[in-house]
Amino acid sequence: MLQIHQIKENIYCFRGLDRTHFDFHGSVFKTTDGASYMAYLVIDKEITLIDTMDEALTEEFKVEVLKVLNGRKIDNIIINHVEPDHSFAYEDIKDMFPEAKTYCSKLAAKALKNMFFKEHTYTEVDSLETINTGKYNFTFALTPFIHWPDNMITYLGEEKILFSNDAFGSLVTGDALYDDEYDYDKDLFRHCKEYYANIVMPCSKFVAKRLPEILGLNLPIEMVCPSHGIIWRKDIIKIITQYLKWANFEEIKDKVVIVYDTIWDSTHKVAKEIASGLEEKGIEVSLYRAKTARPSEVITDIMDAKAVLIGSSNFNNTMVPTIADILERMIALKPQGKIGMSFGSFGWVNTHLKRIDTRLEEAGINVIEAPHYENFRPDEKDREFAKAVGENLAKRILEK
Ligand code: FEO
């Protein structure tokens, strides 16, 4: 479904709502409510399209753009970012309006050629370069690694609008377009947090550096128009402040995330005892079995935890594959400022937990304890020991 919203007298938002596909940004990020994709059309002496549309909504997008154009043509296409959820429709739009000029970063121009195998003339722009379309001026700011190297944002000064592409996006797929139509704490920030954790978190050091630089330009902003989720107009400073907190990992709590998987239930028993030791000492615990958990939710939970515990049975000579999945995500998404340890059971060899520790270290986790092994099923004494592991960890967390 494609919504069209007139957000200003001369500006239209095309908001594609895809509530039937739960793969987001490719195939590794599973959402619960689908996803939304936004592109913008600015009518002036020259008409400018900012970003395009995901594959699933491209045909509808083309039809609706033509309706809004009402016989006019697109003169300029601004590609803030080349990832296909924003650029898939670019080639079709370019075929429809071959005279349109394309503005993008240097790296985006290179990537577009590699993606579409067609030679177009791209106007490569740099930070603070401006184009004029009549009464409007569009100013660009490169934002490399927020979250791909090619990313940039575009500012429309006359309307005080920032077109931020992936930045400040969210997983909201409700019918309403604006932030003030949602409950910030119940809906918006929950969806934004999951989006940040799974898309933006690995770029946190760039966010922490680049965002204050952009804010330092003191541009008046009345609307932030991302390419996912909703438009921010009510409390823009709140979402910007929240981004800075996430980027600097300022919201880490006395919380432990335990992710385990189990073959014959022994590692599950150990996980429950460790969790019980932590909880009895007042630590918040999230306990996930990797086989049934949604990895994107687990990663979101890890973002503000103080410790991550990874448990696995021994699977011949390595960890259970679902645990490898979570660890590879952690390596890719780089949660910071956490301690961690591994635990689990084995029958005849116990090499798997050392492999887990190595991957935890690759993910930037400070591994603080030797792996906690159980040989076959934990008996009563083993269970007491596992509970004590949780209690000791709780003490350490509360002392930090
Ligand atoms: Fe929503 Fe990096 O694309």
Q: Is the pLDDT of residue 297 over 90?
A: yes
CB 39 within 8 A of CB 53: yes
Read off the pLDDT of each residue in 28-40 and give the average, rounded to a whole number. Answer: 95
* One-letter amino acid for residue 40 of the chain: Y
81 is catalytic: yes
Are 64 and 37 in contact, with CB atoms under 8 Å apart? no
The mean pLDDT value for 96-107 works out to 98
Residue 169 alpha carbon, nearest atom of ligand 1: 1
pLDDT at position 186 is: 83
Q: Residues 113-127: what's their mean pLDDT?
A: 93
What 3-state class would DSSP assign to 270? helix
- 213 pLDDT exceeds 80? yes
Residue 187 — pLDDT band, cuts 50, 70, 90? confident
The span from the CA of 383 to the CA of 304, in Å, is: 28
Q: Peptide bond preceding 147: is omega within 30 degrees of 0, i.e. cis?
A: yes
Confidence (pLDDT) at 226 = 98
Q: How far apart are CA 94 and CA 5, in angstroms?
A: 23
235 included as an active-site residue: no
pLDDT(400) > 90: no
Could you tell me the two tokens for 284?
Answer: 């918040």
Could you tell me the pLDDT band of residue 354, with boundaries at 50, 70 and 90? very high
156 pLDDT more than 90: yes
User: Of 346, 340, 336, 337, whose CA–CA distance to 389 is shortest?
Assistant: 340
Query: What pLDDT score was predicted for residue 158?
Result: 98
Q: Which atom of ligand 1 is nearest to the CA of 165?
A: 1
pLDDT value, residue 286: 98
Token pair recorded at residue 376: 């076959």
Mean pLDDT score, 312-341: 97
How does the average pLDDT of the chain come out, rounded?
96
Structure confidence at residue 5 as a pLDDT band (50, 70, 90):
very high
Mean pLDDT of 194-216: 95
Average pLDDT over residues 88-112: 97
Alpha-carbon distance of 388 to 276, in angstroms, equals 9
Phi, psi of 235 (to 5 degrees): -135, 70
Residue with CA closest to ligand 1 atom 1: 166
Helices (H), the chain: 58-69, 84-87, 90-96, 106-116, 189-195, 204-215, 236-247, 266-280, 295-303, 321-333, 352-362, 380-399
DSSP 204-243: HHHHHHHHHHHHTT----SEEEESSS-BB-S-HHHHHHHH
- The structure tokens listed for 383 are 């269970």
The single-letter code of the amino acid at 374 is E
Q: What is the pTM of this model?
A: 0.95
Q: What's the confidence (pLDDT) of residue 196?
A: 97
pLDDT at 381: 96
Q: What's the rounded mean pLDDT across residues 248-254?
A: 96
> Residue 294: which pLDDT band, with cuts at 50, 70 and 90?
very high
Task: Check residue 362 and give its pLDDT.
Answer: 98
Check pLDDT > 80 for residue 172. yes
Q: Does position 114 have pLDDT exceeding 90, yes or no?
A: yes
Predicted pLDDT at 185:
85
Q: Is the pLDDT of residue 254 over 90?
A: yes
Residue type for position 382: D
Over residues 324-352, the mean pLDDT reads 96
Q: Which residues of 182-194 are buried (b: 16+ CB within 10 A; e: fewer)?
A: bebeebbbbbbbb
Cβ within 8 Å of residue 132, ≥6 positions away: none
Q: Residue 370's pLDDT band (boundaries 50, 70, 90)?
A: confident
- Known catalytic residue: 136? no
DSSP state of 67: H
DSSP state of 55: G
Torsion of CA 27, 32, 34, 39, to 10 degrees: -90
Q: Is 24 in the pocket of ligand 1 (CB under 6 A)?
A: no
**Minimum-distance ligand 1 atom for the alpha carbon of 199:** 2
268 catalytic? Reply is no
Res. 7: pLDDT tops 90: yes
The residue among 369 and 201 whose pLDDT is bigger is 201
Q: Ligand 1, atom 3: nearest CA belongs to which residue? A: 83
Q: Is the CB of 94 under 6 A from ligand 1?
A: no
Catalytic residue at 83? yes
- Out of 83, 179, 301, 374, the active site residue is 83
Residue 353: its pLDDT value, please? 96
Q: Which two tokens stand for residue 13?
A: 């938002």
Lowest mean pLDDT among 44-53, 295-304, 367-376: 367-376
Span 214-222, mean pLDDT? Answer: 93
- Burial (Cβ within 10 Å: 0-12, 13-18, ≥19) of residue 127: middle
Kindly state the percentage of the chain with pLDDT values over 90.
Answer: 96
Which amino acid, one-letter code, is at 5? H
Q: Is 14 in the pocket of ligand 1 (CB under 6 A)?
A: no
Which residue type occupies 213? Answer: E
Confidence of residue 141 (pLDDT cuts 50, 70, 90): very high
Q: Is 206 left (phi over 0), alpha (psi -120 to 50) or beta?
A: alpha
| pLDDT value for 117 | 87
Q: Which whole number is the average pLDDT over 103-132?
A: 95
